[in-house]
Structure 1
Amino acid sequence: MSDQRVTIKDVAARAGVSRAAVSLAFGGKPGLSDATRAHILDIARSMGRHPDRSAPARNRVDSRTISLVVRRPAQQLGLEPFYMAFVSGLESVVSDRRGAVLLRLVKTLDEEIDLESHWWRTRRIAGSVLVDFREHDPRGPVLARLGIPAVAVAHPALARPFTSLWTDDATAVGEAVRYLAALGHRSIARVGGAPELGHSVIRRAAFKKTMAELGLGAGRQLDTDFSGAAGARATRSLLTAVRRPTAIVYDNDVMAVAGLAVATEMGLRVPTDLSLLAWDDSQLCRLTHPALSAMSHDIHAFGAEAARTLYALIAGDRVRGHPVPTPVLTPRGSTAAPGHPDLRAQG
């Protein structure tokens, strides 16, 4: 039979399924198992029927739906300003296109890979924004083999083979440390995020390198899970050490706010006894007393750029990875020259 003569009814009879099932398979609509869909399409091709041959595989009913899977506990994500602003940026572009963001929280990389693969095979998404990359990230080989259009929020060295968007964290860390050193701080510490994440690796190395270039030693760095509780524990550990720092850089705003509370609890004056520098610069930084100095960047715009880049990939455009603006220093009341004589002596 030629393509024109083979009807949905013919395919349904040969495949042993209903005409409705064939319509779902031809239209790329949800409602069928992967096995049933593949069986119907194989039968159709064997009969000379090639549904939607002119349309690219990515042109689906839900072609404006994109996904974002985040490996964070739900409670923690709700308190983390970065992802709230990032998702808001995604939505600003997606809503203009009358699309949707399919957001899911998972615990492991395996769960994320299984979920993204399932959504792609069942035609629920047209592409994905991938976050929280680590060295030798296992998502690359699996999702690339499936052909999922994806934008990786990560340095290109970590994001291969995906198109990547990234901030220059190494330069930003260097600026933060040099600023504190210029104020007169000689004992500077960093409270970082999850150590296995790629941007944590970059920030850790940049902190150590800049401290060494300034003749300040390696500097103490503590890893956390980005939560306020972990940030508070790390701050207590630093402030109860024999040689406590006069300044601390935090990898996010939540931990910096927790650190400020710990400093107050321990009777330290910020910034006279201790300077604190946050990262991201959400509204939290302006609601504390004193207001927190921060490495500031437009996370909403970052999310919007990720969505625009992904839609360009879905449309089949040739898209190159590119950096977004580097975080810049916004000084406020939580940083100053070390003012306590005992602290000067420690330097």
Structure 2
Amino acid sequence: MTSSHRATIGDVARRAGVSKATVSFAYSGKRPVSEGTRQRIFESAESLGWTASESARALASSRTATIGLVIARRPEIISADPFFPRFIAGCEAVLAEAGMGLLLSVVTTEEDETAAYTRYAAGRVDGVILLDIKHGDRRPALMRALGLPAVMLAPTRPEPLLEDDGMTLPAVIAENATAIHELVGLLVEAGHHRIAHVSGPPHYVHATERRAAFTAAMTEHELDPSLVIEGDFTAASGQARTAELLDQVPRPTAIVYANDVMAVAGLSLARSRGLRIPEDLSLTGFDDSDLSGHLSPGLTSVSTRPDEVGATVVRTLLEALGGASGPVVRVEGPTVVLRGSIGPPPPPV
């Protein structure tokens, strides 16, 4: 291997002529592997300079080789939101290397969510990932009651959630605020003063963080920060909230959306009213979906690298299961992807 390419379990598997799962089983002992195959794997690993990770070695004590994920959102929201499939792909990449799997449950009510975690705790998974952290989230206490190891993904260090009656949950922090500040700065630099924000539901910590960042950025630029209207991350709400904003007199010359789904719907609604993007209205999204780069003009958005985040969350959970994790892991901040949906505001009528 060259110095620029660090050997992976996939490289070992290819050289040994086996699957990545078989490599993992050879090291963890979770499944029988013939002596000949095991020796071939070990020789391939040695020649490539690859060693099994601490997380993979810790899996030998795992009961199910499965990690659980419960997503409490309506299926239509999940299917349209680019974050979830990319996040899950990142999770699966690390789990595959460890010879593990992901058990996913999609629920729509708090009762069903509790039932899913209860089933998981009955020996179905070794630990769980907590997404969509809410203000006053009840799940850390539930994990303690169920005795279920967990790691949470949050945009900021959620102090009340990390410690619940003596229980500390590991957390992966993926902040959003800096990107919102940058988006507002780009719009102000382009000449905009009347800028609106279509936020996400206020019970989500990441939605309120983006809203707070918008308010702070507008205040720093000595602009009115009050033009905020609440959406729910769906295309329908993006369209409806955009219509409300465009009906205002004077209307905003720029809109910062809390996700790409609402932004794309808003762009479509604006065009249906005869507005040009960005000549008459500038727009920005968040999450950098594949569609954003193929619109005309392309939608300025924010890449949160959900696959990398998912991989980090799983590694953190595996380390926690092996007793080797710290309380907080931070991932690289989001990146603004500048495209053609930002331009100077139209001249006053």
Shorter-chain TM band:
0.7 to 0.9
2:323 to 316, 321, 328: 316
Give the superposition deviation at 1:79.
1.4
* Partner Cα separation in structure 1 for residue 275 and residue 325 of structure 2: 54
- What SS is found at the alignment partner of 2:336? strand
- What SS is found at the alignment partner of 1:156? coil
* Partner Cα separation in structure 2 for residue 110 and residue 172 of structure 1: 35
Give the superposition deviation at 1:316.
1.6
1:213 to 209, 216, 220: 220
Counterpart position of 2:107: 106
Q: Is 1:141 matched up with 2:141? A: yes
Give the superposition deviation at 1:135.
1.3
Q: Is 1:89 matched up with 2:96? A: no
> Deviation string for 1:72-91 (max 9, x for gaps)?
11122111111111111111
Give the superposition deviation at 1:295.
1.6
Greater mean deviation of Cα atoms: 257-266 or 163-172: 163-172
Greater mean deviation of Cα atoms: 276-285 or 314-323: 314-323
Counterpart position of 2:189: 182
Contact 1:211 1:219 in 2 (8 A): no
| Structure 1 residue ranges, 4+ long, deviating more than 6 angstroms after superposition | none
Contact 1:195 1:224 in 2 (8 A): no
Counterpart position of 2:120: 119
Counterpart position of 1:329: 336
Counterpart position of 1:69: 70
- What SS is found at the alignment partner of 2:123? coil
Aligned residues: percent identity? Answer: 36
- When the two structures are aligned, how many residues end up with a matched partner? 284
> Deviation string for 1:288-314 (max 9, x for gaps)?
111111122211111111111111111
* Partner Cα separation in structure 2 for residue 246 and residue 273 of structure 1: 7
Give the alignment's Cα RMSD to 1 decimal: 1.7
> Deviation string for 1:156-186 (max 9, x for gaps)?
2264232111222222221111121111110
Q: Is 1:170 matched up with 2:172? A: no
Please list, as runs of the form range in 1=range in 2, the aligned pairs for 1:154-303 lying within 5 A after superposition. 154=154, 155-157=156-158, 159-161=161-163, 162-303=169-310
* Partner Cα separation in structure 2 for residue 296 and residue 102 of structure 1: 26
Contact 1:293 1:332 in 2 (8 A): yes
Give the superposition deviation at 1:141.
1.3
Contact 2:71 2:105 in 1 (8 A): yes
* Partner Cα separation in structure 2 for residue 193 and residue 181 of structure 1: 22
Amino acid of the structure 2 residue aligned with 1:160: L
- What SS is found at the alignment partner of 2:283? strand
Give the superposition deviation at 1:203.
1.6
> Deviation string for 1:117-168 (max 9, x for gaps)?
2211x21000001011111111111212333221101122264232111222
The normalised TM-score by structure 2 is 0.78
The normalised TM-score by structure 1 is 0.78
* Partner Cα separation in structure 2 for residue 142 and residue 232 of structure 1: 37
> Deviation string for 1:237-263 (max 9, x for gaps)?
111111211111111111111111011
Amino acid of the structure 1 residue aligned with 2:74: P
Contact 1:188 1:219 in 2 (8 A): no
Amino acid of the structure 2 residue aligned with 1:76: I
* Partner Cα separation in structure 1 for residue 334 and residue 218 of structure 2: 19
Give the superposition deviation at 1:60.
4.4
- What SS is found at the alignment partner of 2:285? strand
Give the superposition deviation at 1:217.
1.3
Greater mean deviation of Cα atoms: 153-162 or 199-208: 153-162
Give the superposition deviation at 1:202.
1.5
* Partner Cα separation in structure 2 for residue 318 and residue 167 of structure 1: 17
> Deviation string for 1:54-97 (max 9, x for gaps)?
xx9x94431x2001111111122111111111111111111122
Greater mean deviation of Cα atoms: 253-262 or 102-111: 102-111
- What SS is found at the alignment partner of 1:172? helix
* Partner Cα separation in structure 1 for residue 137 and residue 212 of structure 2: 19
- What SS is found at the alignment partner of 2:286? strand
Contact 1:67 1:125 in 2 (8 A): yes
Give the superposition deviation at 1:111.
2.5
Amino acid of the structure 1 residue aligned with 2:115: D
Counterpart position of 2:3: none
* Partner Cα separation in structure 2 for residue 112 and residue 317 of structure 1: 29
